[in-house]
Chains A and B, each alone.
Chain A
Amino acid sequence: MELFFNPFDNLVCILLGISFTVWFTLLLVFIIVPAIFGVSFGIRRLYMKTLLKIFEWATLRIERGAKEKNHPLYKPYSNAIIAKEPTSLEEEIKEIRRSGSNRDLDSAPEFEMSDIFYFARRGVESIMDDEVTKRFSAEELESWNLLTRSNNNFHYISLRLTVLWGLGLLIRYGFLLPLRVTLAFTGVGLLVVLTSVVGLLPNGRIKNFLSEKVHLMCYRICVRALTAIITYHDSENKPKNGGICVANHTSPIDVIILASDGCYAMVGQIHGGLIGVIQRSMVKACPHVWFERSEVKDRHLVAKRLSDHIEDKTKLPILIFPEGTCINNTSVMMFKKGSFEIGATVYPVAIKYDPRFGDAFWNSSKFGMVNYLLRMMSSWAIVCSVWYLPPMSREEGEDAVQFANRVKAAIARQGGLVDLLWDGGLKRGKVKDTFKEEQQKLYSKMLVGTQEDRSRS
Chain B
Amino acid sequence: MGSSNSSVNNIPNAQELMQETGFSAAHILRLHERFEFLDKHKCGQLRPQDFGAVQELALNPIGDSIISAFFSPGQETVDFASFVRILAHFRPTDRNQSRDGAQQEPANSSIRKLKFAFQMYDQDRDGKISRAELLQVLRAMLGIQVTEEQLQSIAERAIQEADLDRDDAISFDEFRKSLEKVDIDHKMSIRFLR
> Which residues of A pack against B, CB within 8 Å?
72, 74-75, 78, 80-85, 95-96, 99-102, 110-133, 137-138, 140, 148-152, 154-155, 422, 426, 430-431, 435-441, 443-445, 447-448
Residues of A within 8 A of B3 (CB): 148-149, 151-152, 154
Residues of B within 8 A of A122 (CB): 56, 60
Once A72-B26, A127-B54 are accepted as A-B contacts, the answer to whether A440 and B143 lie under 8 Å apart by CB is yes
CA distance A128 to B29 in the complex (A): 12
The answer on a CB contact under 8 Å between B145 and A440 is: yes
CA distance A100 to B188 in the complex (A): 14
Q: How would you classify the secondary structure of chain B's contact residues: helix, strand, loop or mixed?
A: helix
- Asked whether B166 is an interface residue with its Cβ less than 8 Å from the other chain, the reply is no
Top 6 closest pairs, chain A to chain B, by CB? A440-B143, A444-B145, A126-B56, A100-B182, A123-B66, A431-B58
Number of A-B contacts (CB under 8 A): 184
Residues of A within 8 A of B181 (CB): 99-102
Q: Which residue of B lies closest to A71 (CB)?
A: B7
Residues of A within 8 A of B107 (CB): none
Residues of A within 8 A of B121 (CB): 113, 116
The answer on a CB contact under 8 Å between A448 and B182 is: no
Q: How would you classify the secondary structure of chain A's contact residues: helix, strand, loop or mixed?
A: helix
The answer on a CB contact under 8 Å between A435 and B59 is: yes
CA distance A54 to B186 in the complex (A): 46
CA distance A117 to B53 in the complex (A): 23
Once A431-B55, A439-B60 are accepted as A-B contacts, the answer to whether A447 and B142 lie under 8 Å apart by CB is yes
Once A113-B178, A120-B116, A448-B150 are accepted as A-B contacts, the answer to whether A436 and B59 lie under 8 Å apart by CB is yes
- Asked whether B164 is an interface residue with its Cβ less than 8 Å from the other chain, the reply is no
Least CB distance from A427 to B in Å reads: 9
Residues of B within 8 A of A126 (CB): 54-57, 60
Q: Which residue of A lies closest to B150 (CB)?
A: A448
CA distance A281 to B34 in the complex (A): 46
Q: Which residue of B lies closest to A443 (CB)?
A: B141
Q: Which residue of A lies closest to B23 (CB)?
A: A81
Least CB distance from B179 to A in Å reads: 5
Of B5, B158, B170, B189, which one neighbours A155 at CB under 8 angstroms? B5
Once A81-B31, A113-B175, A123-B66 are accepted as A-B contacts, the answer to whether A436 and B1 lie under 8 Å apart by CB is no
